Chains A and B, each alone.
Chain A
């Protein structure tokens, strides 16, 4: 069965600092991996996804993530945080189940200090 672990339910950075949100997954088949962002009382919006074409994936709003099979990780980074990046971020995996469902991590709330 597939699963996702996001280390750190809350991360705080200063504006302009590096953003690093951690995600580790478990899957018995080559996974598809996703990062979504959620603003308060909103749905989820796709930031980026990994589908085996390239290990470094670039997404919207300056975010990127690197797939590392040896570490079973898919960490999300952004070189310089903006106030508008404050939101909750979810890592998800699919591929190792019927129905193509996403399995989500617990989420990481990113806070950006001025």
Chain B
């Protein structure tokens, strides 16, 4: 079945450590996105990529980094510079057609301990 896989589902990190969240899709979508979800704030865009080897900052990119070396993969690194990293992280993908539906992974809940 086609879809988006995020791993792990739950992740714990000590303060000062970098951590990488995985996102893989087999939908042959060109565009991929990372959103952060906090209670009462909806989803906020961290980074997006429309094509391999290219990505753009979203609204809240500070303290995060991404790579897009393969069409299927768009990992997100939460660095120690991110001051409040505890959140639910959602990865999505879509075609590059205007108005295309975005398909979401099941999310990763990151907790800093």
Which residues of A pack against B, CB within 8 Å? 4, 6, 9, 32, 34, 36, 41-46, 49, 51, 90, 94-95, 98-107
Contact = CB atoms under 8 A, between A and B. Distances in A.
Given A42-B106, A99-B56, A32 B99 contact: yes
Interface of B: 4, 6, 9, 31, 33, 35, 40-45, 48, 50, 56, 58, 88, 90, 92, 94, 96-107, 109
A43 B7 CA distance: 12
Contacts of A106: 40-42
A100 B48 CA distance: 10
Nearest to B44: A104
A105 B31 contact: no
A39 B12 CA distance: 22
Contacts, number: 69
Given A43-B6, A99-B56, 9 more contacts: A6-B42, A32-B98, A41-B109, A42-B107, A94-B99, A95-B98, A99-B31, A100-B31, A101-B45
A84 to B, nearest CB: 19
A27 to B, nearest CB: 12
B71 to A, nearest CB: 16
A34 B101 contact: yes
Given A101-B48, A106-B40, A43 B105 contact: yes
